[in-house]
């Protein structure tokens, strides 16, 4: 019988991390026994259908240690008797010396609870994200003397200090990441021979079947039938929604459009106020967070997709936003920026449109072209859908993960 794998997640379920849920479900279908460990309880009002299909039980660790003192104390009492406790404590103390924050203390406390409560049949710990989930996974794995691995994505790659990334790369058994840009960056920090694999998320086409009808040939000339622009993303700095509002304010007065935005996020209220101030509020619908079925319906109703990604002041940036793949699966022409790994998906002026991040004038010019030219949208949308199918296979990525988590790997532990 193969050992189970514990997946350490920052939060579960999360609407903005559909790609993780789809991966977990697909691995379960291939026979991988998964246990979910979440550092936070859910905050979204909805869940996706895929979350309801996942069978893995979830253990929620105490998000704030002071709220569960007895649980943390029991974890410490049990943890200090483990043969790997001294090694884990030493790693944590070195980390704490360089990062003396409450967050660092919290992660060790969560690791103590995890080490005590981890089911006995778990033989491997896997972290999704290289920052806090990997810290908890690493400390617990050392305590229990278990192998651990990691999937690195976006913010975790670009905001984690170099010393921490290098040490985690040295300690983990292997790491996968979802963009070539990430892989090249992490390879510069990894020790010789460390296994870093590029595994694109891809898209489960069973959940995003192609649109079977032609889109209307709107060109922005009819006030009664405006071109529908769609953007899906959390209202955070790296998504560039300030830049998008700037660009929308620059569009010609006689061009008729509407924007649909899907997503929550801390900047949403501020963006709504700005849209009101700039006279754009009447042309924008803010839908908030939505389940996958509702998002798919909007992809199918839209004429073009826009995501104005940028690098935030703290270095945070997208990897390869899955929403771009989702939009392309529906034949939508996509407009985005040349940040990070987006050019790995969108070939400029062949399978979509790319502009420099933070350039409101260039973004406005590209929007004007897409709104006014239905034939261009059709051509780019078809080319994007074809490239997605040929180069970003969801099944290929799952196959490679199964090789790592499958019975031959786990039975050898």
Residues 48, 122, single domain; the answer is yes
Residues 340, 401, single domain; the answer is no
Cα gap 287→46, rounded to integer Å: 13
Q: Flag whether 210 is in a domain.
A: no
**pLDDT higher at 214 or 242:** 242
Q: Edge-to-edge strand order for the sheet containing 175-177?
A: 58-60, 34-38, 4-9, 122-128, 148-152, 175-177, 196-198
In percent, the amount of the chain with pLDDT more than 90 equals 92
Q: Flag whether 215 is in a domain.
A: no
Nearest to 378 by CA among 216, 258, 226: 216
pLDDT in tens, 286-315: 999 999 999 999 999 999 999 999 999 999
Give me the mean pLDDT over the 238-250 stretch. Answer: 98
pLDDT at 392 over 70: yes
Cα gap 369→303, rounded to integer Å: 13
Banded pLDDT at 408 (limits 50, 70, 90): low
Contacts of 340 (CB under 8 A, 6+ apart): 154, 179, 181, 309, 311, 317, 318, 319, 320
Q: Give the pLDDT confidence score for residue 222 in this predicted structure.
A: 97
Residues 133, 255, single domain; the answer is no
Q: Give the pLDDT confidence score for residue 413 in this predicted structure.
A: 64
Residues 30, 177, single domain; the answer is yes
Q: Give the pLDDT confidence score for residue 206 in this predicted structure.
A: 87
**pTM, rounded to two decimals:** 0.92
Give me the mean pLDDT over the 231-244 stretch. Answer: 98
Residues 98, 239, single domain; the answer is no
Q: Give the pLDDT confidence score for residue 2 in this predicted structure.
A: 72
Residues 331, 378, single domain; the answer is yes
Tell me phi and psi for residue 228, to 5 degrees: -95, 115
State how beta strands 333-337 and 304-306 pair: parallel
Domain count, the chain: 2
Q: Flag whether 212 is in a domain.
A: no
Give me the mean pLDDT over the 389-403 stretch. Answer: 93
Cα gap 152→176, rounded to integer Å: 6
Banded pLDDT at 412 (limits 50, 70, 90): low
Query: Could you tell me the end-to-end alpha-carbon distance of the chain, in angstroms, rounded to an integer?
Result: 11
In percent, the amount of the chain with pLDDT more than 70 equals 98
Residues 381, 407, single domain; the answer is no
Cα gap 407→38, rounded to integer Å: 25
Of 24-38, 202-216, 230-244, the range with the lowest mean pLDDT is 202-216
Q: Give the pLDDT confidence score for residue 340 in this predicted structure.
A: 94
Q: Flag whether 176 is in a domain.
A: yes
Of 205-219, 350-364, 367-381, the range with the lowest mean pLDDT is 205-219
Residues 167, 237, single domain; the answer is no
pLDDT in tens, 192-218: 988 899 999 988 888 899 998 889 999
Q: Flag whether 260 is in a domain.
A: yes
Q: Give the pLDDT confidence score for residue 89 in this predicted structure.
A: 98
Give me the mean pLDDT over the 234-248 stretch. Answer: 98
Residues 197, 298, single domain; the answer is no
pLDDT in tens, 252-293: 999 999 999 999 999 999 999 999 999 999 999 999 999 999
Residues 250, 176, single domain; the answer is no
Q: Flag whether 286 is in a domain.
A: yes
Give me the mean pLDDT over the 153-161 stretch. Answer: 96
pLDDT at 120 over 90: yes
Q: Flag whether 221 is in a domain.
A: no
Of 65-79, 178-192, 194-208, 334-348, the range with the lowest mean pLDDT is 194-208
Banded pLDDT at 410 (limits 50, 70, 90): low
Question: What average pLDDT does the structure give for the chain?
Answer: 95
pLDDT at 380 over 80: yes
Residues 383, 405, single domain; the answer is no
Q: Flag whether 214 is in a domain.
A: no
User: Which CATH number covers residue 140?
Assistant: 3.40.50.2000
Residues 295, 366, single domain; the answer is yes
Q: Which domain holds residue 265?
A: 227-391
Long-range CB contacts (< 8 A, 24+ apart) of 394-399?
Answer: 394/22, 394/26, 394/201, 394/202, 394/203, 394/204, 394/205, 395/202, 396/202, 397/23, 397/199, 397/200, 397/201, 397/202, 398/23, 398/26, 398/27, 398/30
């Amino acid at each position: 019988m193969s050992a189970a794998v514990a997946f350490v997640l920052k939060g579960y379920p999360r609407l903005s991390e559909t790609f993780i849920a789809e991966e977990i479900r697909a691995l379960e279908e291939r026979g991988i026994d998964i246990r979910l460990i979440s550092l936070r309880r859910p905050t979204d009002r909805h869940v996706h259908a895929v979350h309801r299909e996942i069978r893995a039980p979830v253990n929620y660790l105490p998000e704030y240690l002071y709220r569960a003192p007895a649980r943390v104390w029991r974890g410490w009492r049990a943890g200090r008797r483990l043969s790997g406790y001294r090694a884990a404590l030493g790693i944590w103390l070195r980390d704490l010396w360089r990062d003396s924050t409450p967050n660092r203390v919290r992660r060790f406390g969560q690791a103590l609870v995890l080490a005590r409560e981890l089911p006995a049949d778990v033989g491997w710990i896997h972290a999704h994200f290289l920052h806090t989930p990997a810290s908890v996974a690493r400390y617990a794995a050392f305590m229990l003397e278990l192998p651990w691995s990691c999937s690195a994505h976006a913010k975790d790659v670009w905001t984690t200090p170099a010393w921490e990334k290098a040490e985690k790369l040295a300690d983990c058994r292997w790491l996968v990441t979802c963009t070539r840009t990430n892989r090249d960056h992490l390879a510069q920090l990894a020790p010789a021979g460390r296994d870093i694999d590029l595994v694109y998320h891809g898209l489960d086409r069973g959940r995003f079947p192609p649109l079977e009808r032609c889109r209307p040939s709107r060109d922005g000339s009819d006030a009664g039938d405006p071109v529908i622009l769609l953007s899906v993303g959390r209202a955070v700095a790296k998504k560039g929604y300030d830049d998008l509002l700037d660009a929308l304010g620059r569009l010609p007065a006689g061009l008729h459009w509407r924007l649909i935005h899907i997503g929550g996020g801390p900047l949403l209220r501020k963006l709504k106020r700005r849209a009101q101030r700039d006279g754009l509020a009447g042309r924008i619908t803010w839908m908030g967070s939505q389940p996958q079925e509702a998002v798919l319906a909007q992809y199918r109703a839209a004429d073009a997709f826009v995501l104005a990604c940028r690098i935030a002041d703290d270095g945070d940036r997208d990897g390869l936003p899955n929403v771009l793949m989702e939009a392309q699966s529906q034949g939508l022409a996509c407009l985005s920026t040349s940040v990070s790994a987006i050019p790995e998906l969108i070939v400029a002026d062949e399978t979509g449109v790319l502009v420099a991040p933070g350039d409101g004038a260039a973004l406005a010019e590209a929007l004007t072209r897409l709104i006014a030219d239905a034939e261009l949208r059709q051509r780019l949308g078809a080319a994007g859908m074809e490239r997605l199918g040929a180069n970003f296979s969801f099944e290929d990525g799952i196959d490679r993960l199964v090789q790592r988590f499958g019975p031959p790997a786990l039975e050898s532990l």
